[in-house]
Amino acid sequence: MPILNRLIRQFNHLLLNMSWIALTVLVGAHFFSSWLLLWIAGESELVAPDVFWYFYMVSATTVGYGDYSPITGFGRVAVTFWLMTGGITLFAAVIGKVTQFLIALWRKRMRGDGDYSHLSDHVVILGWHDERTGYMIEQILGDKRRDQQREIVLCSSRDMESPVPDQTHFVRGKSLTSAELLQRAGVVQASRVIIYGDSDEQTLATGLAVSAAKTHAHIVAHFDSDAMAELFKAHCPQAECTSSISLELIVRSAQDPGSSRIQTQLLSTLAGPTQYCIQVPDAFKGCSYGALFYALKEQHRATVFGVAQSQVGDDLELNPDNDSRVSGCQFVYFMAPERIHANEVAWDKLSETA
């Protein structure tokens, strides 16, 4: 018996390590040989084309409905010692092979070895900072009305497994600047790229690598140093840089008590009105800032507080005069209970009142 058990284990191991092509050929050979044995046995009912595949599957999976069965002695021997024994073994091998394949895919996803270069219009986050990056992902997913439910690809150079496998795809590499990592993350086809390295130097190098990849995505990079942020902006003027504003918040809260809670709520998508941005359609003929302010307030409970000519740069005008002109292609910043999409604003009526 120990020898038999060892042979069975070795045979099962051989089947599991067999290629899909070889296993398919083996299943096909067993299927055809089983039919041939029943044909030789004179089982005319079982070898009918519309019956045999059904009888084979029922027998191989041990379901055994009993609606079809061999009627000759040789047929019963062939079914018992060849069809059922071999079929059960091969069926178990196929199930094991599929399970092994699915586990390998899951492990590959967890290790960050996956390739997501087929994605497009997604969000790429370069860098992992435990709770900070986790909170960032929570904020992105908390915006339920964002333009699209974009997929998120998280990239890290740390020796780790996917920290949030239920919320993001995961890509791991030796360096965030690696062309191979950026390619697997689909940076070129992404719509948003967020860079938050372990240091300002890593963030700068990663930002330059992303820019060199010729992506059309909107790049946002976080720096602790304003000087490093300015250096990155000098090389990538189309990127948007953020830096720590904790000192400004401390001063503002000291001068105007409670200011910190206002900033927190304006930036959070998880509770209360939040700050959003909308681009005015190209064909919009224009209206006054005051008209847009009152229209969004009445129709969407939104408060407009700024207008800019571009997504980045120093052209943002906060709290402009009511007579200031708002025209097509400009960016309007507002606070609202939820995101407002461009097609939800009655631009035609605003043009008529201009």
CATH value at residue 281: 3.30.70.1450
Q: Is the pLDDT of residue 194 over 80?
A: yes
88 & 191 share domain: no
Which range has the worst mean pLDDT, 10-19, 167-176, 230-239, 323-332? 10-19
236 & 276 share domain: no
107 & 152 share domain: no
* Count: domains in the chain: 3
Encoded tokens for 323: 């007579």
203 & 302 share domain: no
Which range has the worst mean pLDDT, 114-123, 244-253, 299-308, 325-334? 244-253
Q: What does each C-alpha distance from 112 to 125, 290, 309, 323 come to in angstroms?
A: 13, 50, 40, 53
Q: Is residue 262 part of a domain?
A: no
Regarding pTM above 0.85, the answer is: no
- Which phi and psi angles does 185 have, rounded to 5°? -80, -10
Asked if 162 and 134 touch (Cβ cutoff 8 Å), the reply is no
Q: Is residue 259 part of a domain?
A: no
Q: Is the pLDDT of residue 186 over 90?
A: yes
Q: Is residue 222 part of a domain?
A: yes
Encoded tokens for 188: 């070129």
Q: What does each C-alpha distance from 146 to 153, 297, 303, 341 come to in angstroms?
A: 17, 20, 18, 9
Encoded tokens for 149: 């439910």
Look at residues 244, 259, 291 and tell me which one is the last residue of a structural domain.
244
Distant-in-sequence, close-in-space partners of 45: CB < 8 Å, separation ≥ 6? 51, 68, 71
Mean pLDDT score across all residues of the chain: 86
Range of the domain at 7: 2-111
Encoded tokens for 303: 């408060």
Please state the rounded mean pLDDT for residues 10-36: 81
Which residue is it, tokens 């038999």? 4
Distance CA 119, CA 168 (A): 13
Q: Is the pLDDT of residue 37 over 60?
A: yes
Alpha helices in the chain (DSSP H): 2-16, 20-40, 49-60, 73-78, 85-111, 131-142, 179-184, 200-212, 226-235, 246-255, 259-267, 289-300, 347-353
CA dihedral 310, 313, 317, 318 (to 10 degrees): 110
Distant-in-sequence, close-in-space partners of 188: CB < 8 Å, separation ≥ 6? 213, 214, 215, 216
102 & 194 share domain: no
Q: Is residue 138 part of a domain?
A: yes
Q: Is residue 257 part of a domain?
A: no
Q: Is residue 264 part of a domain?
A: no
Q: Is residue 19 part of a domain?
A: yes
Please state the rounded mean pLDDT for residues 146-161: 85
85 & 148 share domain: no
The neighbour count for residue 132, using CB atoms within 10 Å, is: 11
CA 238 to chain centre: 25
R_g of the chain computed on alpha carbons: 32
80 & 134 share domain: no
Asked if 224 and 244 touch (Cβ cutoff 8 Å), the reply is yes
What local confidence, expressed as pLDDT, does residue 4 receive? Answer: 47
179 & 208 share domain: yes
Q: Is residue 265 part of a domain?
A: no
In this structure, are strands 169-172 and 152-156 parallel, antiparallel, or unpaired? parallel
Which residue is it, tokens 């899909």? 20
What local confidence, expressed as pLDDT, does residue 12 receive? Answer: 60
321 & 344 share domain: yes
Look at residues 244, 262, 294 and tell me which one is the last residue of a structural domain.
244
98 & 26 share domain: yes
What local confidence, expressed as pLDDT, does residue 115 receive? Answer: 93
